A and B are shown apart, each in its own frame.
Chain A
Amino acid sequence: MRRFVWLMGLASIGGLGACVSPSPAETTPSTALQAESAEKRAEREGLLVSQRVIIRFKNATTEAEARALLPELNAQLGCDLVYVRPMSAGVHLLRLSSPLDAPAFDSVLRRLSADPAVDYAEPDRLVTIHR
């Protein structure tokens, strides 16, 4: 019955706004967390989920086509979207390499969705079993 709480939007990481500048390479990679407090890590892990974007481009269904679009997209947004993997039906999974807080992430999604090359861009939401 109880649904666990995914710690999305609780963190105060990055008061940067939505990718105002291209993210530098020194941001922490998602799979190599540094030693830190459990609480801090939970916040970070929770955020990592929300940093993933399910995106469908209007004219880029293959991985190569989508990857080719990323540099220009990143330049426009001032973000660092990284290609994760192709999904079924010509959809792509991307990840923001630098963590953003929830409002900033929502802003990125909105700006992506408004891009004429983009069909839709949505968060890779977390789902649970119905306990």
Chain B
Amino acid sequence: MQKRSSLALAVFSALYASAYAAPVVFDMRSAAEPKIRQLIVQPARFDLAHAQSVDKASLASFSQAAGIELSHARAMSGQAQVLRLPYAMSASEAEIYAARLVASGLASYAEPDRWVRPSLEPNDPFYVSRQWHYKAIKSGFAYGDNNYGLNLPGAWDVTQGLSAVTVAVLDSGLLAHADIDSNIMDDSGQVKPGYDFISVLVTDPDSGVVYPPNDGDGRDPDPTDPGDWYAADDPVCGGGEEHPSTWHGTHVTGTVGALSNNGVGVSGVAWNVSLLPVRVLGKCGGVNSDIIDGMRWAVGMSVPGVPANAHPARVLSMSLGGEGACDKAYQAAISDVRKQGAVVVVAAGNESMDASKASPANCSGVISVAATDQQGQRAYYSNYGASVSIAAPGGDSLVDTQVYSTADGGAKAALNDNAYESKQGTSMATPHVSGVIALMLARNATLTPDQVLQKLKDTATAFPDYPGTSKDAFFKSRAPSYCLDASCSFDCTTSLCGAGIVNATAVIDALSNSTPDPFSFAAQSNVALSTLVTSNSITVSGINVPASISVSNGEYSLDCAPSGFTSSAGKVSVGQTVCVRHLSSVEPETRTDTTLTIGGVSGVFSSTTLPADRTPDAFSFSPVSDAAPDVPVTSAPVTIQGINTATPISVVNGEYSIGCGASFTAKAGEIRPSQTVCLRHTSSSASGGSASSTLTVGGVSASFVSTTRVESGGGGSMGLFGLLALLALSAARQRRWLIARISMQKTKPESAPN
């Protein structure tokens, strides 16, 4: 790549060197991102901006301005042209040519035609062809040209669910299906062992059919759907119209979590979560008493006569309901399961009426779901009003497409033919929301039901507004009975269809958490002075995206690598260990604090140095003999060792100098570790007499004694003595310097990693 680019550059340079600005020479080695091949350019000239092609003369002027040969690729929307670059280049190189075009005044704007990383689009054939309801949002176009999908691909980039998150589907039961789980009775696979909660209300004495179970008995551990067909003259619910089996539970369960990206059939919303079939609806429906028990069982609460559920659900998906008030028993069950942390998602209902009249949509604490069509409008059947929390795709067969999912071809009993089917309803919208919530919980298991709803609302796709749409016209002319009122508007508003249409990518992005759990370091004590002290390791938890990491007054190391300590800010991921270190204080009993901050959460590592030691090692002064009478006599320097902090120093009968410089004092003071000290006093005036000074450092004393020479007379010898004294003084001074230099070296702090 590099070679070819260089060659292209060279050829181009040869051709255009005289007339064009110099091409930019780039080192292509580090370019890991996809190469840029085109620029998007809006010509400043109106005619060029709107032209279908760009003439040669204009192209030449563009090329000259950019300093690189540009060719015309195509005209695009927004009065822009796509201009091709002569070779694939890095984005930063392309940006330079683009900037030259703008600077020249020829272009209003010019930008590299960047690569957009494709999000995860599952390879299931029906996802590609029929599941508009999962796909990215395409909005801002005329009615009919938009796609108000759940916007899942961006969310799937982040998570496809976790098996630890269980979604209970309270419905008509489930069929084993090759695109969900071929064995719904065992613990393996997507589907966990559910339960059939339908108890017998009545038995038809003629047919022996038990209503509503329709599987021959009451409650049992088999949630398999036996079918819910009924004849036109069914003794219980036949109303003159025949109804084939709906396989309703299999359809909604497939929406929550059909096997996906497996090259087969349909996709589901959250295909790595666990599914729990809780059968509560049978032939002719089901009753509150079975649903209420099923709800509590689904979250792990006890139900008399039913074995415990080993897979408590965090989401209850309930595409069911009826007209009526929210009964206290029902509300109590909702409150109970919420206390277990479970989110209750219910259908708003399909009567095109105010959902406040539909239970359980009108219960408090539920997420009630209205259905929208492909254009983001209210489906003709969907209930609406203040009881609706949020909307999701449910399809609208009268104007566009429905929701595609797993089914069965059997009109009565199942054929187990692994079929698929289009259905529409708030029943279909509901499992979309349940699946997204499962993705959310896979991302952050600590979300409460209220937090889940708030996040969904905060990130929802706004409803579009189509003034005088063809949908409204369609209903006004052909289906006026479905109109809300005289205006016959199917525009959703936040007062009709909840906060918006669930936006899976936006809500999963909003759950990115870079604030870790609190962490702390163990304080260390009695550490040596001026040494590197390393903390225990902490493990970063509670984040799901890389978090910033910085340190003050010290260094940190990711994974506690001994060679990795740095004081520069960086990034840290969940599960990584971190250690910090610092140089301990030069002072005893002194604390040094290093603050590590990860994603705004700080922890302090403290070390405290050893206790103070103010008792020096023994020291002594060499006596001086043959001193001149009555002159100042200075001792050789002595280095004070064995203390670790400033220590009292005092002298009796003389003066001392710390550092042995010019200034001597008789006043008590302090001396620091490894400093040198000299004593000075006036020699005795008596021949052979002695003088003595005593230095005391931290309770340890030593004396310096000088003896005045014995006077023997004779001026000649005086001259000789004077010369000797001069020589001795010179030697002593040299020795003092030597000691001072050694001492300085010793006082340098030792640096050794701990």
Residues of A within 8 A of B (CB): 1-6, 30-35, 38, 41-42, 45-46, 48-49, 52, 54, 56, 63, 85-89, 91, 93, 119-120, 122-131
Contacts and interface: CB of A to CB of B under 8 A. Distances in A.
Given A127-B320, A128-B322, A1 B350 contact: yes
Interface in B372-422: 381
B427 A120 contact: no
Given A38-B233, A42-B235, A129-B320, A54 B172 contact: no
7 contacts: A2-B241, A30-B201, A42-B238, A87-B292, A88-B296, A89-B333, A128-B322
A129 to B, nearest CB: 5
Contact of B297 (A33, A88, A127): A88
B202 interface: yes
B285 A48 contact: no
B304 interface: yes
Interface residues of B, number: 59
Given A88-B292, A126-B287, A130-B321, 7 more contacts: A4-B285, A49-B287, A88-B302, A89-B301, A128-B322, A129-B427, A130-B347
Contacts of B202: 30-31, 33, 45, 48
A127 B296 contact: no
Contacts, number: 150
Contacts of A89: 296, 301, 332-333, 336
B201 A48 contact: yes
Interface string B117-139: 00000000000000000000000
A75 B669 CA distance: 103
Contacts of B319: 129-130
B286 A85 contact: no
A127 B241 contact: no
B292 A31 contact: no
B288 A54 contact: yes
A52 to B, nearest CB: 7
Nearest to A125: B288
Given A87-B304, A88-B302, A89-B301, A125 B287 contact: yes
A125 B320 CA distance: 12
B616 interface: no
Contacts of B201: 30, 45, 48-49
A49 B324 CA distance: 15
Nearest to B280: A127
B432 to A, nearest CB: 14
Nearest to B306: A88
Contact of A130 (B289, B301, B320, B333): B320
B35 interface: no
B245 to A, nearest CB: 11
B107 interface: no
B329 interface: yes
A57 to B, nearest CB: 12
B284 A4 contact: yes
A126 B322 contact: yes
**Which one of B288, B301, B425 has the highest number of Cβ atoms from chain A below 10 Å of its Cβ?**
B288
A34 B228 CA distance: 25
Question: Chain A interface secondary structure, helix, strand, loop or mixed?
Answer: mixed
Interface in B192-243: 199-206, 211, 228, 233, 235-239, 241, 243
Nearest to B425: A130
Given A33-B204, A88-B303, A41 B235 contact: yes
A38 B287 contact: no
Given A87-B303, A88-B303, A127-B321, A122 B281 contact: no
B241 A125 contact: no
A127 B304 contact: no
Given A33-B202, A45-B236, A129-B320, A56 B329 contact: yes
A41 B237 CA distance: 10
B351 to A, nearest CB: 7
Interface in B335-352: 336, 347, 349-351
Nearest to B218: A85
Nearest to B332: A89
6 cross-chain pairs, A with B, having the tightest CB-CB distances, nearest first? A88-B296, A130-B427, A128-B285, A120-B328, A86-B304, A122-B327
A109 to B, nearest CB: 11
A2 B351 CA distance: 9
B359 interface: yes
Given A31-B202, A125-B322, A127-B320, A85 B304 contact: yes
A126 B287 CA distance: 4
Contact of B281 (A30, A87, A93, A129): A129
A52 B304 CA distance: 18
A89 B304 CA distance: 9
Nearest to B206: A35
B291 interface: yes
A131 B350 contact: yes
Contacts of A3: 322, 350-351
Nearest to A32: B205
**Which one of A63, A86, A119, A127 has the highest number of Cβ atoms from chain B below 10 Å of its Cβ?**
A127
Contacts of B289: 52, 54, 87, 93, 124
B472 interface: no
A4 B321 contact: no
Contacts of B349: 130
B311 interface: no
B350 A130 contact: yes
A33 B285 contact: no
Contacts of B237: 4, 6, 42
B287 A124 contact: yes
B690 interface: no
Interface in B355-373: 359
A131 B246 contact: yes
Contacts of A91: 292, 329, 332
B719 interface: no
A89 B284 CA distance: 27
B149 to A, nearest CB: 21
Contacts of B288: 54, 122-125, 127
Contact of A125 (B327, B336, B425): B327
Contacts of B199: 85
B426 interface: yes
Contacts of A52: 287, 289
B281 A128 contact: yes
A63 B304 contact: yes
A86 B199 CA distance: 12
Contacts of B246: 129, 131
A45 B232 CA distance: 16
A122 B205 contact: no
Contacts of A35: 205-206
B203 A31 contact: yes
B179 interface: no
A41 B202 CA distance: 11
B239 A4 contact: yes
Interface in B412-445: 425-427
A127 B291 contact: yes
B293 interface: yes
A119 B327 CA distance: 12
B171 interface: yes
Contact of B235 (A4, A45, A54): A45
